[in-house]
């Protein structure tokens, strides 16, 4: 049994330099003009570096941008659902010559993240990108807001990545590269792996989804977002501790791997579900759990739009397939967790479980019923809120 191939059918393509090459390229970077990237672009750079965005070798051209927006295809024909682009203000772009090299620096501390050879400069229709990728141009949508605020000019070209942006130092073993997860899955003897996407601690509904996946797969990769969060979200290190506690107490040994990845949420709903599946293929996952309103925000997407978009993919677009699961809840009549496909009872018999409600209850010191979250997980989360509120 073997793992799924990296996206594109070849080998992983990590762009992160190491050893003597890294030393030499850092010296070279110090001689170059600099461009400070955004937080979103930093995450994309690190994913390019560790091979998470295999087989991309840098930021997309105008032709690629247009093809991805309009048909989820790059000029080469490679399936890709969301543009991976780098922007600059017009004044900064005017100072950069086509064919020249620049150093890309961290938005927080200004350290060098990568070097880039600029092969193209182009303006885009930002509203067109928003309408195709996010299905809205509403400036209140957080993804739309970021696109509309980015620079006026996109820069295309290959990159040489020189840093992992502090993620391994901050998150330790939680931060894993595609090479590392693939090696771990192979050691465990897994070939059917379901990825579970989360930016929240796992409540009973999440636990149910993961265990449903384990029934048909060798194991589950609980894959936590480590990038920028929305206000009120729980930090990754707290989420990891809570998830680890849940796994230790309530899962069979060696059925779960926990890891984190360095992206921000784009809140692109169905298109982001596809991007999640694409890079999980690079991490070695054969399946991705897709629940209700995957990667959504507000009411911009239907609750199962992320299910339906997989049905419209052309054959061979992805090797990672969706595990589509209905809304999960606690049913008092069933006496346990259930979904709309397994429970015949009415809403009056059901306790809907959501991360938003859990965070609200914890932040306000409200009682959380055991049907909502495991008590050991609640202990970890209450410690976080107590420490936070005491500062």
pLDDT at residue 364, rounded to an integer: 85
Q: How confident is the model at residue 91 (pLDDT cuts 50, 70, 90)?
A: very high
What distance in Å separates the CA atoms of residue 158 and residue 210, rounded to the nearest whole number?
A: 38
Whether 243 shows a pLDDT value over 70: the answer reads yes
Q: How confident is the model at residue 166 (pLDDT cuts 50, 70, 90)?
A: very high
Mean pLDDT value across residues 53-71: 98
pLDDT at residue 386, rounded to an integer: 86
pLDDT at residue 229, rounded to an integer: 67
Q: What percent of the chain has pLDDT over 90?
A: 86
Whether 105 shows a pLDDT value over 80: the answer reads yes
Place of tokens 């991705």: 288
What distance in Å separates the CA atoms of residue 375 and residue 246, rounded to the nearest whole number?
A: 9
Mean pLDDT value across residues 354-369: 82
- Looking at every residue in the chain, the average pLDDT score rounds to 95
E strands along 193-306, which residues? 193-198, 219-225, 256-261, 287-290
What distance in Å separates the CA atoms of residue 292 and residue 142, rounded to the nearest whole number?
A: 19
| Cα–Cα nearest to 186, from 153, 150, 158, 219 | 219
Mean pLDDT value across residues 104-131: 97
Mean pLDDT value across residues 124-138: 98
pLDDT at residue 154, rounded to an integer: 98
What end-to-end distance do the CA atoms of the chain give, in Å?
Answer: 51
- Helix, strand, coil shares of the chain, percent, nearest 5, are 40, 20, 45
Place of tokens 């890079």: 279
pLDDT at residue 89, rounded to an integer: 98
pLDDT at residue 384, rounded to an integer: 92
| Residue 77: how many other CB atoms lie within 10 Å | 7
pLDDT at residue 391, rounded to an integer: 67
Write the CB contacts of 247 (distance below 8 Å, at least 6 apart in sequence): 222, 256, 258
Chain segment 247-305, per-residue pLDDT in tens = 999 999 999 999 999 999 999 999 999 999 999 999 999 999 998 899 999 999 999 99
Tally the residues of the chain.
391
**321 bridge partner residues:** 287
Phi, psi torsion values for 98, nearest 5 degrees: -60, 135
Phi, psi torsion values for 13, nearest 5 degrees: -125, 75
Whether 97 shows a pLDDT value over 70: the answer reads yes
Whether 71 shows a pLDDT value over 90: the answer reads yes
Exactly one of 154, 200, 282, 292 is catalytic; name it.
200
Across 77-86, 188-197, 381-390, least confident range: 381-390
Residue 6: both structure tokens together: 């990296």
Chain segment 12-41, per-residue pLDDT in tens = 999 999 999 999 999 999 999 999 999 999
pLDDT at residue 295, rounded to an integer: 93
Residue 338: both structure tokens together: 């259930």
Whether 232 shows a pLDDT value over 80: the answer reads no
Domains of the chain, first to last = 19-167 (3.10.400.10), 171-390 (3.40.50.620)
Q: How confident is the model at residue 201 (pLDDT cuts 50, 70, 90)?
A: confident
For the question of residue 57 being annotated catalytic, the response is no
What's the farthest any 2 CA atoms get from each other in the chain? 69
For the question of residue 199 being annotated catalytic, the response is yes
Exactly one of 40, 66, 182, 199 is catalytic; name it.
199
What distance in Å separates the CA atoms of residue 68 and residue 80, rounded to the nearest whole number?
A: 6
What distance in Å separates the CA atoms of residue 300 and residue 141, rounded to the nearest whole number?
A: 8
DSSP-assigned states of every residue in 17-56: --HHHHHHHHHHHTTS-EEEPPHHHHHHHHHHHHTTTTT-
Mean pLDDT value across residues 89-115: 97
What distance in Å separates the CA atoms of residue 343 and residue 321, rounded to the nearest whole number?
A: 25
Q: Which residues of 281-296 are buried (b: 16+ CB within 10 A; e: fewer)?
A: bbbbbbbbbbbbbbbb
pLDDT at residue 367, rounded to an integer: 87
What distance in Å separates the CA atoms of residue 151 and residue 129, rounded to the nearest whole number?
A: 14
What distance in Å separates the CA atoms of residue 86 and residue 88, rounded to the nearest whole number?
A: 7
Whether 228 shows a pLDDT value over 90: the answer reads no
* Beta-sheet pairing, 321-324 with 256-261: unpaired
């Amino acid at each position: 049994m073997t793992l799924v191939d990296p996206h594109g059918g070849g080998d992983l393509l990590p762009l992160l330099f190491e050893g003597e090459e890294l030393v030499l390229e850092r010296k070279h970077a110090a001689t170059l003009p600099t461009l400070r990237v955004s937080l979103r672009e930093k995450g994309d750079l690190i994913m390019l570096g560790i091979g998470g965005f295999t087989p991309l070798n840098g930021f997309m051209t105008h032709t690629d941008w247009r093809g991805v927006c309009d048909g989820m295809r790059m000029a080469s024909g490679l399936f890709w659902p969301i543009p991976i682009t780098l922007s600059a203000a017009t004044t900064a772009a005017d100072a950069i010559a086509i064919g020249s090299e620049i150093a890309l620096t961290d938005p927080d501390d200004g350290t060098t993240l990568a070097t880039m050879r600029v092969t193209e400069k182009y303006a885009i229709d930002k509203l067109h990108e928003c309408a195709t990728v996010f299905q809205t141009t509403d400036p209140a949508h957080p993804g739309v807001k970021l696109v509309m605020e980015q620079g006026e000019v996109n820069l295309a070209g290959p990159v040489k990545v020189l840093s992992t942006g502090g993620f391994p130092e901050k998150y330790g073993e939680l931060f894993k590269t595609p090479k590392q997860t693939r090696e771990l899955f192979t050691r465990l003897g897994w070939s059917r792996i379901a990825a579970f996407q989360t930016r929240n601690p796992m409540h009973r509904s999440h636990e149910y989804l993961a265990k449903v996946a384990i029934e048909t797969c060798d194991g589950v990769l609980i894959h936590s977002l480590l990038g920028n969060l929305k206000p009120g979200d729980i930090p990754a290190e707290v989420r990891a501790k809570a998830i680890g506690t849940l796994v230790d107490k309530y899962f069979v040994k060696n059925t779960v791997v926990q890891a984190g990845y360095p992206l921000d949420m784009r809140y692109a709903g169905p298109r982001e579900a596809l991007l999640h599946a694409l890079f999980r293929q690079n991490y070695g996952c054969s399946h991705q759990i897709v629940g209700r309103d995957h990667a959504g925000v507000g009411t911009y997407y239907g609750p199962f739009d992320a299910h339906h978009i997989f049905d419209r993919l052309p054959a061979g677009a992805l090797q990672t397939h969706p595990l589509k699961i209905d809304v999960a809840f606690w049913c008092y009549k069933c006496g346990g967790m259930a979904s709309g496909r397994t429970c015949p009872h009415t809403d009056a018999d059901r306790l809907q479980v959501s991360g938003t409600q859990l965070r609200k209850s914890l932040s306000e010191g409200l009682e959380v019923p055991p049907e909502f979250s495991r008590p050991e997980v609640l202990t970890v989360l209450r410690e976080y809120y107590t420490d936070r509120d005491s500062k």
